Amino acid sequence: AQTVTQSQPEMSVQEAETVTLSCTYDTSESNYYLFWYKQPPSRQMILVIRQEAYKQQNATENRFSVNFQKAAKSFSLKISDSQLGDTAMYFCALDSYGGSQGNLIFGKGTKLSVKP
Amino acid sequence: DSGVTQTPKHLITATGQRVTLRCSPRSGDLSVYWYQQSLDQGLQFLIQYYNGEERAKGNILERFSAQQFPDLHSELNLSSLELGDSALYFCASSESTGQGARNTGELFFGEGSRLTVL
């Protein structure tokens, strides 16, 4: 079975500082995608960053970057220069089938608060 | 704006009732997915449709059903509602290659329909 675990239910960070959110996963598939989605209070799910398992290079999107450790099945999200607008729930998600089937498996989420 | 439209945004109803949630995918997307988000269960995949046909099924109750119409919009029908069905229901769509496979892996989510069962 595929699972995604986020061990930090809540985190807080000061504005302009850096924070890392943790995620571990389990899958027996060799081809898969990993995602971080953000859900602000407006509740819409927004893609933050995506990583293909076959790519060794860690994905980056502006202030957001990941540390993908395939052997350890770890996929952490680093947010640099945190901004007040980063306050949201963050969900780690796994697509075990390389896009060939329907569902993403989501973790329980980490609630991030950015404080001024 | 993801381009995925869901209606209604909020819905309050009583136990035993039936409701229909509607979703319009992004223009050109053939795949539609339904997810349920509740405090205790988190985000749970319910069902996927591709070009009118069911493609994958998750933890969808027998009291729930869905369909995708020729114009690609989708409806999720929830019947014999119970208190525990109170949740946020998301629709998402994706680009698809043949047979419903996602091109980039990304799902585009709507704003959700908040269902409250009293």
Return the DSSP state at B95.
Answer: -
**Looking at the predicted structure, is the pLDDT value of residue B100 above 50?**
no
pLDDT grade, residue B96 (50/70/90)? low
CA distance B104 to chain A (A): 7
Cα separation, A85 vs A105, in Å, equals 26
As a whole number, the mean pLDDT across chain A is 91
Cα separation, A12 vs B54, in Å, equals 41
Stretch B25-35: mean pLDDT: 91
**Looking at the predicted structure, is the pLDDT value of residue B51 above 80?**
yes
Phi-psi bin for A50: left (phi > 0), alpha (psi -120 to 50), beta?
Answer: beta
Closest CB from B58, B102, B109 relative to A45: B109
**Which of A83, A80, A77 has the alpha carbon at shortest distance from A110?**
A77
R_g over Cα of chain A: 14
Asked if B90 contacts B84 with a C-beta cutoff of 8 angstroms, the reply is: no
CA distance A98 to chain B (A): 7
pLDDT grade, residue B105 (50/70/90)? low
Q: Which of B47, B51, B107, B113 has the most A C-beta neighbours within 10 Å, making it the best mutation to test the interface with A?
A: B107
Asked if A110 contacts A20 with a C-beta cutoff of 8 angstroms, the reply is: no
Parts of chain A with a pLDDT under 50 = 99-100
